[in-house]
Amino acid sequence: MDQNKMELLPVKGNTWVIRSWNMIPLYRIDQQRCILLDSGLVEQREALDALLQEHGLVCVGIIGSHAHMDHAGNHRFFQRTYGATVAMSLGEAGILASQLGMELSLYNLSPRQIAKASYLEGMACTADVIILPTDQQVTLHGVTFDVFHTPGHSAHHIAVRTPDDVAYLGDAIMTGRTLFRSKFPYAFSVAACFDSLRLLRSLEAETYIAAHFGIYPEILSHVDMELAFLQRRMNEILELVEGDSTVECVAKRIGEVYGIQPKDITDMAYFERATRAYLQYLFDLGLLEVVLVDGLLRYCRTGAPLPERNDISRGTPPPG
């Protein structure tokens, strides 16, 4: 779908969603003011602003699910143009606080690459409201939203439930065709992903919105589907570790097996970061060990048998 083609659709009560190649929910405070839940890509800026103006809406607040470029691309634009109040979780706010934070935490780019990347233009911003790890609610412009801490896809990812009992899950879950098209879902921490998926099983709402992609009356079936999908991927990746393998070697094998062709060095760095997260999880489960060979860190299988179905997604065992 064209990322600049957008339509505003009602969900329930004052909760609406902007449907494009992604889903950007918003809460209408009144006829003129709204709060966005995420702000899309930099490339969507003009289309998003034009759509809100077409419907007589001004963005006065943003609650960000996480700091990735397809969710936080326009926080600063709305903050500076319309005085929007930006609320983010503590860790994600820290990432976006500077270009250096983005470089170190997200994109594996040099400062020069960060400065030249048009798709990151204007992303760095200072959050007006910090959502602490212990906070269960956040209030913007008199409207209170429930907050659920769902790390894994990113370090301090959050999900949000509007007063209409609509839960926006951001990237805490991937559903339907999107899950299977992804081939190799990105995770900052696989263990935290599994924990957050289990949390989502108890998150009650009348309606659920997944950023990529859909509106659902229930999510239990989608949670179970993703857990099964991730478990299968973990078993397959474990089998791709041959001898003493570097992260780069495993990433190359994963790309060959799943037909993933990174288009540039940034894409490859992102892919390698995700590969490292999967290998670290298998290490924590005792299925891999890390050895130092010729000055390089390499992963090798411990010889432990592959886990039975569902065992691999039960979480990292406690130390000892």
The answer to whether residue 105 is domain-embedded is yes
Which CATH number goes with the domain that contains 123?
A: 3.60.15.10
Phi, psi of 7 (to 5 degrees): -140, 145
- Output the pLDDT for position 86: 98
Cβ neighbours, 10 Å, residue 46: 12
Residue 311 clears pLDDT 60, i.e. is over it: no
Closest Cα to residue 230, out of 272, 277, 268, 287? 277
| pLDDT confidence bin for 105, thresholds 50/70/90 | low
Which pLDDT score is estimated for 267? 79
Q: What are the pLDDT digits (tens) for 144-164? A: 999 999 999 999 999 999 999
The answer to pTM > 0.75 is: yes
Rounded to an integer, the average pLDDT of 78-107 is 88
SS3 69: helix
Task: Look at residues 127, 147, 172 and tell me which one is the last residue of a structural domain.
Answer: 172
Domain count, the chain: 2
Question: What residues make up the domain containing 272?
Answer: 237-301
- For residues 260 and 111, state if they share a domain: no
pLDDT score at 120: 77
pLDDT for res 94? 94
pLDDT of residue 119: 76
Chain centroid to Cα 243, Å, comes to: 32
Predicted confidence at residue 106, as pLDDT, reads 63
Going by C-alpha positions, the residue among 178, 183, 188 that lies closest to residue 157 is 188
Asked if residue 319 has pLDDT above 60, the reply is no
* Residue with token string 């950007």: 24
What is the pLDDT, as a whole number, of residue 316? Answer: 44
Indicate the pairing of strand 85-89 with strand 58-63. Answer: parallel
Give residue 179's pLDDT: 72
Asked, for residue 306, whether it belongs to a domain, the answer is no
Per-residue model confidence (pLDDT) at position 318? 35
Of 138-142, 193-197, 227-231, 298-302, the range with the lowest mean pLDDT is: 227-231
CA distance 84 to 151: 25
- Whether 158 and 247 share a structural domain: no
pLDDT of 22 above 80: yes
252 and 116 both lie in a single domain: no
Residue with tokens 């370090």: 155
Give me the torsion for CA of 165, 32, 211, 96, rounded to 10°: -110
Residue 83 sits at the vertex; the CA angle it makes with 79 and 89, to the nearest 5 degrees, is 45
CA–CA gap between residue 51 and residue 295 (Å, rounded)? 54
- The whole-chain average pLDDT of the chain stands at 89
> Rounded to an integer, what distance in angstroms lies between the CA atom of residue 221 and that of residue 169?
15
Output the domain CATH number for residue 256.
1.10.10
> What single-letter DSSP state applies at residue 105?
I
With respect to residue 265, please indicate whether it lies within any of the assigned structural domains.
yes
At 270 the pLDDT is 80
pLDDT at 313: 55
Q: For 300-304, what is the mean pLDDT?
A: 92
Residues 48 and 129 both lie in one domain: yes
pLDDT digits (tens, 9 = 90+) for 216-251: 999 999 999 999 888 888 888 999 999 999 999 999
Does 195 map to a domain? no
Task: Find tokens 């489960």 and name the residue.
Answer: 285
Phi, psi of 153 (to 5 degrees): -65, -40
**Residues 128, 247 share a domain:** no
